[in-house]
Structure 1
Amino acid sequence: MASKKLLTVFGATGTQGRSVLNAVLAHPTLKTQFSLRGITRDPSKPNAQELTKLGVEMVRADMNDAASLRAGVAGSHAVFAVTNYWESRSKAAEVAQGRAIVDAAIAEQVKVFVWSALPHGGRLTGGRLQGLHHFDSKADIAEYLDGAKGQSGMVGVHVEPSFYMQNLRGMINKGPDGVPALVMPWSGSETKVPLVDAVVDFGRYVAGALAADPAKVDGKHISAVSEWSTPEEIVAQLNESGGTNVQFKQVPEDVFSGFLPKEMAEEMTENMVLVRDYSYYGVKGKEEQIFKDNEAVIGKIQTTSFKEFVSSNGPWKW
């Protein structure tokens, strides 16, 4: 029996990395093809030990140490990589980390590199949105990957997560009237929000990319979306399936910005404008087409509806 190929997953104990590991472990063919290695800062922590019990080899690596990155990916056939802008809130720092992982993978002759990317807000909006650093840094790393892999023969594919369903809980708060509300600079009936169950579906998209024909996925951008929903549909589903009484309230951009910490206000407001005016991926008016585009590259991916997510993630209380 042929030995298994090694898949190394960065951020193994985080939302995306754990989702990838779970999806591969559940995939009918990938689970027989790959052994798994998880990269973490501290393999002794309980969440890392949980993965060890599932058969994942947990390895320590420092995103700012090139030697440890090379050791972390050594022997890997495939790598899934993700970086965390919010740890440093520095675009330069995140780009440096992402480039270092790419360089390590090329040096260690990795065959397939799956990058957790995002669209470039500045380019996508023709220069209108200049403060989306956590988008632009990941897009810059994607561009570096495409150029750096060059003659190495490494396949590079970009999976772009959309708006986490999990984040909605923390975005709903009680107002002065005591009624919980989702308050956004969006149109309740017209803005289409790309939602992803980050815990379940993001990993399924990555698994789909790993299972697909490498020549077909090389250089492609996969939009990881479970469902498109308007704000009014979101609160209606919370109220119907979650037993809540949430309202949606539309506010101007400057009012929304005023709710946020000063250091995050511009960036997060631009994030919501990107959703409202460009449907996040620059697909305004043709949102559903991304499912067809994804399917043409990685096949049909089973996804979680927002109704299913609400029903299985209660109680919903504020």
Structure 2
Amino acid sequence: MAKLIVIIGITGIQGSSVANVFLKETGWKIRGITRDPSKPESKALAGKGIEILKGDVNDFESIKIAVRGASVVFGNTVFPEAFVNPSAENISKLAPGPTLLERCYETELQQGKNVADAVATVDDLELFVWSSLSHAKKWSGGKYTSVYHFDSKAHVVDYINMVHPNVAKKMSVLQLGFYVTNWKLGEGASIPLKRRPDGSIILRVPGNGDMPVPFIVPEDTGYFVKALTQVPAGKNLIAFGDRLTWDDYIRLWSNITGIPAVFERTTVSEHAKLAPWGFGKEIAEMLAYAQEFGYDGSDPTIVSAQQLEVDVPVTRIEQYIRNEDWSSIASENTT
């Protein structure tokens, strides 16, 4: 009898990756949850034989209905769009709070709690995979308090352990590494590749740059979720293609693209100036935290895919760089 995997946020980067991997596996039925089943991405997945249901992580009842009968649930939330685009419309969707970032944090935390509460109603659940990140405030000993998009997800894990112990026994946590694709978000985001007058590139990141960063191509998410279905629950898995220091990364990037590039250390306060509304500071603290304490906070419960002893196909970062279209950056450096 086929098992049912329910994917929350199936049209997103993570959810669509999980769907594409499990579509290739025998013995599985797939149900996807999305806010808008009528959009092209939803219809495309439905055309592949996936059951698509309408559901919203802001609405506990809709998620509760959608996860009925699941053997496995993959849960993830996205930090509110107001984080990068604080329009009146986006802000109106946020929970109450004193600052924009705290409102974003409270909104995502409540969404995660809604998912957890819904999963707790599934009678025959075998595994709940929660897409999380490390608890920056905890693992930094209170030094970094503004990494809200990490802590909101980590606090959902705390909530599950405290409120839903039966779900906790069936839960594995998936911590996706640093998205190597984040350079596309622009120089104010998390991989600020900035052109210098001589046409070369400089990458400036807070911290000493000596701590390896777990880089991942986010489209690989599904392979790690599949791996977690092949081992007992209770794992805290860090997912990555390679661990590289920032200096190693930019040197590799330069060698492949042929564009001269260097890494330079900066400070949290300087990096914070790259974007307004507290966005720059939040990203700056995340980068500094990852350099000082490790992207995963050096949490002793963390395991890698290699430790699971199952085959997990990953995209190596060299392969990603070779296959990526860097023409936008290359053209800037030839004008």
Which of 74, 94, 97 is matched with 2:108 structurally?
A: 94
Which of 187, 212, 215 is matched with 2:208 structurally?
A: 187
Partner residue, 2:286: 271
Decide whether the 8 Å contact of 1:5 with 1:77 is kept in 2: yes
1:198 and 1:153 map into 2 onto residues whose CA distance is: 25
1:165 and 1:209 map into 2 onto residues whose CA distance is: 22
Partner residue, 2:117: 103
The Cα of 1:207 is off from its aligned counterpart by: 1.0
Partner residue, 1:256: 271
In structure 2, list runs of 5 or more residues that go unmatched: 82-93, 95-100, 187-191, 330-335
Question: Which whole-Å deviations, capped at 9, do the CAs of 1:246-272 have from their partners, x for residues lacking one?
Answer: 332322222111122232132111101
Alignment of 1:59-78 (within 5 A): 59-78=53-72
Partner-residue secondary structure (3-state), 1:59? strand
Kindly provide the amino acid, as one letter, of the partner of residue 208 in structure 1: A
Partner-residue secondary structure (3-state), 2:263? strand
The Cα of 1:281 is off from its aligned counterpart by: 1.2
1:239 and 1:172 map into 2 onto residues whose CA distance is: 11
Partner residue, 2:136: 121
Partner residue, 1:206: 225
Partner residue, 2:22: 24
Kindly provide the amino acid, as one letter, of the partner of residue 112 in structure 2: G
The Cα of 1:279 is off from its aligned counterpart by: 1.7
Partner-residue secondary structure (3-state), 1:116? strand
The percentage of counterpart residues that share the same residue type is 27
Decide whether the 8 Å contact of 1:106 with 1:154 is kept in 2: no
Normalising by structure 1, what TM-score? Answer: 0.87
Partner residue, 1:9: 7
Alignment of 1:266-305 (within 5 A): 266-283=281-298, 290-291=303-304, 294-297=305-308, 299-305=310-316
The Cα of 1:177 is off from its aligned counterpart by: 4.4
Decide whether the 8 Å contact of 2:206 with 2:268 is kept in 1: yes
Which of 167, 170, 173 is matched with 2:194 structurally?
A: 173
Kindly provide the amino acid, as one letter, of the partner of residue 183 in structure 1: R
Q: Does 1:149 align with 2:164?
A: yes
The Cα of 1:317 is off from its aligned counterpart by: 3.1
Partner-residue secondary structure (3-state), 2:20? helix
Alpha-carbon spacing, 1:79–1:95, altered in 2? closer, same or farther (3 Å): same
The Cα of 1:108 is off from its aligned counterpart by: 2.7
The Cα of 1:137 is off from its aligned counterpart by: 1.0
Partner-residue secondary structure (3-state), 1:83? coil
In structure 1, list runs of 5 or more residues that go unmatched: none
1:281 and 1:100 map into 2 onto residues whose CA distance is: 25
Partner residue, 1:309: 320
Alpha-carbon spacing, 1:230–1:151, altered in 2? closer, same or farther (3 Å): closer
The Cα of 1:301 is off from its aligned counterpart by: 2.2
Alpha-carbon spacing, 1:263–1:295, altered in 2? closer, same or farther (3 Å): same
Alpha-carbon spacing, 1:49–1:95, altered in 2? closer, same or farther (3 Å): same
Partner residue, 1:217: 233
Aligned residues: CA RMSD: 2.2
2:202 and 2:38 map into 1 onto residues whose CA distance is: 40
Decide whether the 8 Å contact of 2:202 with 2:262 is kept in 1: yes
Which is worse superposed, 150-159 or 58-67? 150-159
Decide whether the 8 Å contact of 1:113 with 1:154 is kept in 2: no
Kindly provide the amino acid, as one letter, of the partner of residue 24 in structure 1: F
Partner-residue secondary structure (3-state), 1:42? coil
How many residues are matched? 301
Decide whether the 8 Å contact of 1:243 with 1:316 is kept in 2: no
Alpha-carbon spacing, 1:10–1:42, altered in 2? closer, same or farther (3 Å): same
